[in-house]
Every structure is written in structure tokens, then in C-alpha cells.
Structure 1
Amino acid sequence: MLIRKIYSPAVEHRPKHIPMYGEAVQAGFPSPAQDYVENSLSLDELCIRTPAATFFVKASGNSMEKAGIHDGDVLVIDRSVPASHRKLVIASVDGEFLCKRLDLTNPAKPVLRAESDDYPDITLNDESELEIFGVVTTVVHPV
């Protein structure tokens, strides 16, 4: 999955709090009556843990579909989260930006795994240039 565009959150922006209903819904939406509102929720607060270390990227392609990432999704990336085994990462391999699952089963030979049977894994060798830019913390997937 290639990265199409990179965005930064508005650091000065104040989060908007949207009503959060206390009941989970099976199918449908609860009555918008104020009595049902239990709390409020800011998507900024939910999706952005460290604003100064966060950026957004728009995904392109379908190599990460089994991880729930589809073409056109917006990924929230946090540079302050350590890139550890099995994390979804934004990486540059030999200058190409990718979103893959990091496999550190053998730390001497990291592998970037696709989440689709149609794409091969990327096994890094001594000549490969790898730079991890951050860890995917949230996927915004339009319906």
C-alpha cells in the first residue's frame, strides 16, 4: 500500500465535542433526545494521542485490506509510538513510502508484511534502506 498524501493536524485547533450516546446500537440510531446523551466525545481526543507527533496519510492500493485499510482511507500516524513487532507502520524502503505490518521475528532481518494474498512481503537485506516514520494508530474508513 503506497502513501498518497501526508497531512498534519491543526495544532491550534480546539477539538469539537460531539454528543456520545450511552447505549450501543445494533442497527439504527437512538432517539436524538437529550436524555440519552451520556457524555461528549472529541474525535481529536479519540484519535490523536500526541498532537505534536501525529500526522495523517491517505492510503492508496489494497495491499493492507486484511488489516482493515482500504484505498482512500485516512491513517492516523503517531511518531511517538515505538515501532514494535506486529505494529502497522509507515515506512520508507529505498525511498518508497509504504504502509505494512512490521515483523521482527528475526530482528536482524525485519520483514514488512502485506495484509493481502496478492502482494509479497518485503524482506529487507543489508543493502535495503529502511526508515520507520510512525505507527498507525487509527484508520478512518468512509462507508
Structure 2
Amino acid sequence: MSKAPLYRVEELPADGVGTIRVPVMGPALCAGFPSPADDFQEQAIELPRWLVPNPPATFLWRIAGFSMRDAGIHDGDLACVDRSLTPGHGSIVVAAVDGEMSIKRMVVEGNRARLAFDNAELPVYALQELAEAAIWGVVRFTIRWHLAAAGRSR
């Protein structure tokens, strides 16, 4: 866990806390069913330091798909993923499933954990019995642009 201070918006220091460059990873995170057509992206975005308490463990991933729509995560959003956080029941996580990176909700039932879509219109996300799955990080927040797609510049 990071030792950097966490701030609520109303507690932000008046003199600011600086910025940090956070890498944008690629290809886009699958928020639905895997798509091998994504290009590798290599860029970084400067964010306020208070949003990124553990910079070495923090990455941004672009979201592709709609499987997390009911969690407020949409196609084209950026997810800020922190690898230093411990996931728990209800966490939104980035998971590697058979080598494919995707975003899912972690559901813990008793001593078993499973991954789930967060879109009531989709069928239940079912892992194959022999699938290899590993939690890669926990989504700390997302960034969404509120412009019409034609007016958005990425």
C-alpha cells in the first residue's frame, strides 16, 4: 500500500501538489468479449499527484466495449489502475484471462472469487474451468470525456 497522502477534494492543499506522468497502456482493455484488433498505444498523461498515490504501480488503460456499463465505465473511458491495491468483494479489477487483459467486477462468495460483467444486458461472464486468470490491478477511478464522439480529440 502506498504511503503517499490521500486527499478528499475539499482537503486539497491550497498550494497544489504537483503532477505526475502516468503511462497509458495498450492495447485497450476489453470490456466485453476479447478483440484482437487493438493497436499498441504508447503515451502518458499528466495527472494531479493527489490522484496517483503510488506512481510506480499506476497505469491508465483505455476501455473498449460496454460490459462494465452499469458500473459507469464506458467504451472510450480511461481507467486508472493501481497494482498496489488489494482487491476485495465488489472491486473493479483488471484481470489477465488466458493472457487477454480485461476489466471485470470481482465477486467473492465464501472463499471463492469470480469475475463478472457489470451490464445486465449481457450473459453471465463464465470462465472456462481450466482458464488461467490473474488479477493484475484494481481500478482506482475512470476518466470520461463528455463530448460528442465527432468533436472528441484523443
Q: Taking structure 1 as the reference length, what is the TM-score of the superposition?
A: 0.67
Match of residue 118, structure 1, among 109, 117, 121: 121
* Bigger relative CO (Cα 8 Å, ≥ 6 apart): 1
On the 8 A contact 1:58/1:74 being kept in 2, the answer is: yes
Aligned-residue offset at 1:121: 3.0
Corresponding residue of 1:85: 89
How large is the RMSD of aligned CA atoms in angstroms? 2.4
Q: Which stretch shifts more, 130-139 or 119-128?
A: 119-128
Match of residue 59, structure 2, among 55, 58, 61: 55
Residues 52 and 9 of structure 1, relative CA distance in 2, 3 Å threshold: farther
Corresponding residue of 2:107: 103
Residues 31-46 of structure 1 correspond to what in structure 2 (within 5 A)? 43-46=47-50
Structure 1: stretches of 5+ with no match in the other structure: 16-42
Structure 2: stretches of 5+ with no match in the other structure: 1-28, 32-37, 147-154
Cα displacement string for residues 81-107 of structure 1 (whole angstroms, at most 9, x for unaligned residues): 001111000001122211010001133
Corresponding residue of 2:142: 139
Aligned-residue offset at 1:7: 5.8
Partners of 1:82 and 1:136 in 2: CA distance: 11
Corresponding residue of 2:133: 130
Residues 1-40 of structure 1 correspond to what in structure 2 (within 5 A)? 2=30
Residues 65 and 79 of structure 1, relative CA distance in 2, 3 Å threshold: same
What secondary structure is seen at the aligned counterpart in 2 of 1:117?
coil
What secondary structure is seen at the aligned counterpart in 1 of 2:50?
helix
Aligned-residue offset at 1:46: 3.3
Match of residue 68, structure 1, among 62, 72, 86: 72
Cα displacement string for residues 2-51 of structure 1 (whole angstroms, at most 9, x for unaligned residues): 066666757xxxx7xxxxxxxxxxxxxxxxxxxxxxxxxxx422321100
Larger radius of gyration: 1
Counterpart amino acid of residue 50 in structure 1: N
Partners of 2:139 and 2:126 in 1: CA distance: 20
Partners of 2:41 and 2:123 in 1: CA distance: 25
Q: Taking structure 2 as the reference length, what is the TM-score of the superposition?
A: 0.63
Runs ≥4 residues deviating over 3 A: 3-10, 123-126
Aligned-residue offset at 1:118: 2.2
